[in-house]
Each structure stands twice: as structure tokens, then as C-alpha cells.
């Protein structure tokens, strides 16, 4: 058959998108290493991708998670990048109204170019910054409901809901996603993680 159920022998491409500065790189580093590095990531330098196995009640799921950098303006992400994605994490910053207002445009772009069955999670990041918050949880929930996507508030700083977001994606992929075989990435030794030290431009460290 042309399609396969989500299977442990395949890697599911997952991409992080959203405006520059919302915390995409920090979010992925937090998931990957359990650490937060203050304000260190050069805006145009992404960490590439990292491959992680996520455990779900239905079994394990391998995710190849891509950070985007320097592609944060609309229409600057290549269509192929969207087309191959099985899951998308769309982030905004609860302290930035513009990053929230831009979510509609991001969702329109995702709906236009991404696979119809792709899992989409809307992420309200920097939830730890309560005193400078300008976007309420209800605003995010309402927008997510309007577009029928999952919603979660997170903090890449203290780690709140970061692992949970990836577990949600893995569970959704595991439970209900079918993809054409050609869209699944075979695991090869070359897909191994890039060591963290090679990824960031973090303060020269
Ligand atoms: P990107 O451009 O989307 O990759 O965003 P970065 O990961 O480079 O983060 C932008 C800035 O926001 C940096 O100064 C981070 O330290 C900060 N930041 C990212 N996530 C959080 C968070 O959850 N809480 C707080 N307080 N700061 C964050
Ligand atoms: Mg970044």
C-alpha cells in the first residue's frame, strides 16, 4: 500500500515556525537539553534539526525537529519545507501583540502549503513573563478553536509544557496520522543528532 500507519522505523519531520524572537530556538534547546540560555541566539542562526524519540502510551515516535531562522518573514519559508512536515509547532510570544496578530497569516500559509493531515499545535510561549504579558490565555484558546488546532501555553525558560507539546504531537501522529510512504523519512545513521556544541552561536560559548 501507498500509506503506512505511524511507525517506529520512520522519522516524522516536525517544524517550528513563528515570528523572530518568539523563542523557537530556545524552545528546541530546552526540549533537547533541558536548559535555557538567556538571549544568546543570533537571529539568523538556527540549530538545524535534532532527532528525538518521544514515548507515548501507544508506543514511541521519532521526531526530526527543525528550527527555522532567517525565514521568519511571511512567504520566505520554502514550500517544500512545509510540504514535507508531518507536524508544525506555531509559536507566538505572550508579551508581543504583533507576534500574536501575525498568527493568522502564519496559519493561512500553513493551510496553503502544509499537508492536510499535518498535526498543528499553537504555542503561546514566554508564559513565565506574567508581568509583561499582553495576550491572555483565552485569546490564544479562541484563535486555536477557530482554526481547529491544539493550543498550549509554554515557557522555554522554565520548561513548562515543552516536553508536553512534543508528546502531544507524537500522540497525535501515533493515533491518527497516515502519510504517503514517500513522505516518511527513513532512519539512517546520518540522521543522528547534531551535537549541541555545533548548533548555536550562543555568546561564543
Ligand atoms: P527565535 O527567534 O524564535 O528563535 O527566539 P529565541 O529562542 O532566539 O528567543 C528570543 C528571546 O526570547 C531570547 O532573548 C530568549 O532568551 C527569550 N526567550 C525565549 N523563550 C522564552 C521564554 O519562554 N521565557 C522568557 N522569559 N524568555 C524567553
Ligand atoms: Mg531562532
Is the beta carbon of 41 within 6 A of some atom in ligand 1?
yes
Is the beta carbon of 131 within 6 A of some atom in ligand 1?
no
Is the beta carbon of 24 within 6 A of some atom in ligand 1?
yes
d(C-alpha 125, C-alpha 19), whole Å: 12
- 63-67, 69-73, 198-202, range with the lowest pLDDT: 198-202
Of all ligands present, the nearest one to the C-alpha of 37 is: 1
Cα 26 to ligand 2 centroid, rounded to whole Å = 7
pLDDT of residue 46: 56
Q: What pTM does this model have?
A: 0.84
pLDDT of 119 > 90? The answer is yes
Is the beta carbon of 124 within 6 A of some atom in ligand 1?
no
Stronger pLDDT, 42 or 204, i.e. the higher one? 42
Question: What average pLDDT is seen over the chain?
Answer: 81
Of all ligands present, the nearest one to the C-alpha of 202 is: 1
- Reported as a single tens digit per residue, the pLDDT across 140-198 is 999 999 999 999 999 999 999 999 999 999 998 887 655 544 455 554 444 334 433 33
Helix, coil or strand: residue 99: helix
Stronger pLDDT, 71 or 204, i.e. the higher one? 71
Q: What is the DSSP letter of 114?
A: S
**CA count, 13 A, side-chain hemisphere, 159:** 8
Write out the DSSP string of 87-121: EEEEEEETT-HHHHHTHHHHHHHHHHHS-TT-EEE
Amino acid at each position: 500500500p501507498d500509506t503506512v500507519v505511524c511507525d517506529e522505523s520512520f522519522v516524522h519531520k516536525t517544524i517550528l515556525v513563528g515570528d523572530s524572537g518568539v523563542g523557537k530556538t530556545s524552545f528546541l534547546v530546552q526540549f533537547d537539553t533541558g536548559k535555557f540560555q538567556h538571549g544568546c541566539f543570533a537571529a539568523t542562526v538556527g540549530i538545524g534539526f535534532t532527532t528525538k524519540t518521544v514515548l507515548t502510551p501507544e508506543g514511541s515516535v521519532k521526531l526530526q525537529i527543525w528550527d527555522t531562522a532567517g525565514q521568519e518573514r511571511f512567504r520566505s519559508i520554502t514550500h517544500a519545507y512545509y510540504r514535507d512536515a508531518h507536524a508544525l509547532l506555531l509559536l507566538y510570544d505572550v508579551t508581543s501583540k504583533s507576534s500574536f496578530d501575525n498568527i493568522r497569516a502564519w496559519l493561512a500559509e500553513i493551510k496553503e502549503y502544509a499537508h492536510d493531515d499535518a498535526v498543528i499545535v499553537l504555542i503561546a510561549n514566554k508564559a513565565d513573563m506574567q508581568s509583561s504579558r499582553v495576550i491572555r490565555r483565552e485569546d490564544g484558546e479562541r484563535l486555536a478553536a477557530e482554526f481547529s488546532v491544539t493550543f498550549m501555553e509554554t515557557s522555554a525558560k522554565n520548561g513548562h509544557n515543552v516536553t508536553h507539546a512534543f508528546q502531544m504531537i507524537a500522540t497525535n501522529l501515533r493515533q491518527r496520522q497516515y502519510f504517503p510512504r514517500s513522505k516518511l523519512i527513513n532512519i539512517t545513521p546520518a540522521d543522528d543528532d547534531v551535537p549541541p556544541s555545533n548548533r548555536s552561536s550562543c555568546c561564543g560559548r
